[in-house]
Amino acid sequence: MIIMTLFSRDLFAQQSDYSEKEKFAYNYSQQGKIKEALSEYQQILDNQPNDKKAKYNMAVLLVKLGKYEKAAEHFSELVNESPDLKRDCLYNLVIIYGKYLNNQEKAGNYYNQLNR
């Protein structure tokens, strides 16, 4: 198996206008304060459940905390919800299932979707 690293896209760099909560979440994550960043993202999602950027960044942080199944849930939802992020999410799902959750069957299924 090829060892790959999780693709962590910095979605903030693509946004010139984002909320204060997003700024706090980003700053916390840059400082290594993952739990605080997750709290900010959760507040964003509580108010804006369809915020794909917050969901993606939250999933990346969940991986950093070792909460792979919860991260996979977010990435799986985004595969269907966000065409812009589909390939990145599929890639991350291959990594999560193949490397961290040791489920080669699911990793293979996501890999096949990635290469369509």
Nearest CA-CA partner of 62 in 35, 22, 23:
35
Mean pLDDT, range 67-93, rounded to an integer: 96
* 51: Cα within 13 Å, side-chain hemisphere: 22
pLDDT class of 20 with cuts at 50, 70, 90: confident
Mean pLDDT, range 56-70, rounded to an integer: 97
- Residue 86 near residue 75 (C-beta atoms within 8 A): no
Q: Give the domain ranges of the chain.
A: 19-114
- CATH code for residues 19-114: 1.25.40.10
Q: What confidence score (pLDDT) does residue 17 get?
A: 39
- Residue 97 near residue 103 (C-beta atoms within 8 A): yes
Q: What confidence score (pLDDT) does residue 115 get?
A: 87
Q: In terms of pTM, does the model score above 0.85?
A: no
Mean pLDDT, range 24-42, rounded to an integer: 95
Pairwise CA distance, residues 100 & 116, whole Å: 24
